[in-house]
């Protein structure tokens, strides 16, 4: 096997007027690429059952299109707080902090200019049978209303099995909150214009968070039994499209946009989900240290894409990709019984997720 390599390519001019780049990591037959704009995962080429490699991540050929579609956070790191914080405010140590509301009355994915729309510093390197890129970003005190200077890093590593590992870390010298995730949309058909309704999904979860009509958690946690949210492996394999269109529980979200609690001990790397595409034979297994997984079936991709042209030269349709967002619970700062989102000098944010490709037996 050839030595792992990293190639830097031009990725257009970013909104800050400076050039953006796309770094292509190659390890054996596998490739994945990333850009410093939003610390974004741009592409991932994995084989089907015939050995044909295809890109299975929705994305763009130029940073200008990526930014135009920023409402969809395509492949980007979401922060300072991924998902929603209710009424765009929270209290910490007796003080209330007002955030930028960008999703009705709520703050979603960090506000109007979240981590997905920031330039990160990039460093690259190779290891034995692996290549990596380390992104770092310093979020200033008061950015989007959040307290404290947050120093954040996101390290993507591609290894000889084709697996991509993401190690996230955030530190702050004063008390704040943080919740980071990668927001890649997967389509294992390799045809990113097709619906993901024929993809099969398993999630190691027995509970989900009830949400209101603004997709904000109510604080109640229910069993997935006898609901459209039951993707547990002990149940029959379920196609995502089984309930995607028409189930009353999904009507107001136009599909899945729900948080499922991952079984096992928080902070320990453990299996979380398995996404498969029977026609191509492709499979992705997801492991994480995070408390939960937000299942989002790209219900608004056409609208939030704002006409941006995808890799095939046309906008993405709704439900053309599925995001498996490993993260803490949405709105955790406002629910004391949810896992803590607090970050301070003794409690950094640390999270690992691994996406492992394989083929159906």
Of the candidates 21, 325, 335, 356, the residue annotated as catalytic is 325
Residue 58 is given by DSSP the state -
Answer yes or no: are the C-beta atoms of 295 and 322 closer than 8 Å: yes
C-alpha separations of 28 from 155, 264, 339, 353 in Å = 20, 33, 39, 22
Find out whether the peptide bond into 111 is cis, omega within 30 degrees of 0: no
Active site residue 319: no
Strand, coil or helix: 304: helix
Both tokens of 309, joined, read: 């042209």
Query: How many angstroms separate the CA atoms of 254 and 166, rounded?
Result: 29
Catalytic residue (choose from 21, 183, 258, 277): 183
**Residue 346, Cβ neighbours under 10 Å: how many?**
6
Buried b (16+ CB within 10 A) or exposed e, 96-128: ebebbbbbeebbbbbbeebbbbbbbebebebee
Q: Is 325 a catalytic residue?
A: yes
Q: Which residues pair with 132 in a beta bridge?
A: 125, 157
Q: Which residues are catalytic, by number?
A: 183, 325
């Amino acid at each position: 096997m050839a030595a792992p390599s990293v190639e830097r390519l031009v990725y257009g001019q970013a909104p800050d007027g400076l050039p953006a780049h796309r770094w292509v990591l190659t390890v054996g037959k596998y490739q994945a690429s990333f850009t410093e704009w939003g610390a974004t995962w741009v592409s991932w080429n994995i084989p089907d059952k015939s050995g044909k490699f295809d890109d299975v991540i929705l994305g763009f050929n130029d940073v200008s299109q990526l930014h135009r579609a920023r409402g969809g956070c395509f492949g980007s790191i979401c922060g300072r707080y991924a998902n929603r914080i209710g009424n765009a405010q929270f209290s910490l140590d007796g003080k209330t902090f007002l955030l930028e509301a960008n999703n009705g009355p709520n703050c979603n994915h960090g506000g109007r200019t979240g981590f997905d729309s920031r330039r990160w510093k990039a460093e690259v390197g190779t290891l034995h049978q692996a290549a990596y890129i380390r992104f770092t970003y310093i979020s200033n005190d008061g950015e989007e209303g959040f307290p404290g200077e947050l120093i954040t890093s996101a390290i993507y590593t591609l290894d000889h099995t084709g697996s991509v590992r993401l190690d996230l870390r955030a530190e702050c010298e004063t008390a704040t909150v943080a919740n980071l995730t990668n927001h890649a949309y997967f389509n294992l058909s390799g045809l990113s214009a097709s619906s993901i309704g024929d993809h099969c999904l398993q999630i190691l979860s027995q509970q989900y968070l009830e949400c209101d009509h603004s997709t904000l958690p109510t604080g109640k946690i229910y069993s997935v039994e006898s609901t459209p949210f039951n993707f547990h492996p002990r149940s029959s394999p379920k196609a995502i499209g089984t309930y995607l269109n028409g189930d009353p529980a999904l009507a107001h979200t136009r599909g899945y946009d729900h948080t499922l609690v991952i079984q096992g001990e928080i902070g320990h790397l453990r299996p979380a989900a398995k996404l498969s595409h029977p026609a191509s034979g492709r499979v992705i297994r997801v492991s994480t240290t995070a408390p939960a997984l937000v299942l989002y079936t790209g219900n608004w991709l056409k609208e939030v894409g704002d006409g941006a042209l995808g890799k095939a030269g046309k906008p993405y349709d709704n439900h053309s990709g599925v995001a498996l967002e490993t993260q803490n619970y949405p709105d955790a700062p406002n629910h004391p019984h949810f896992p803590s989102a607090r970050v301070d000098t003794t409690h950094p944010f640390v999270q690992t997720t691994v996406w492992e490709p394989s083929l159906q037996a």
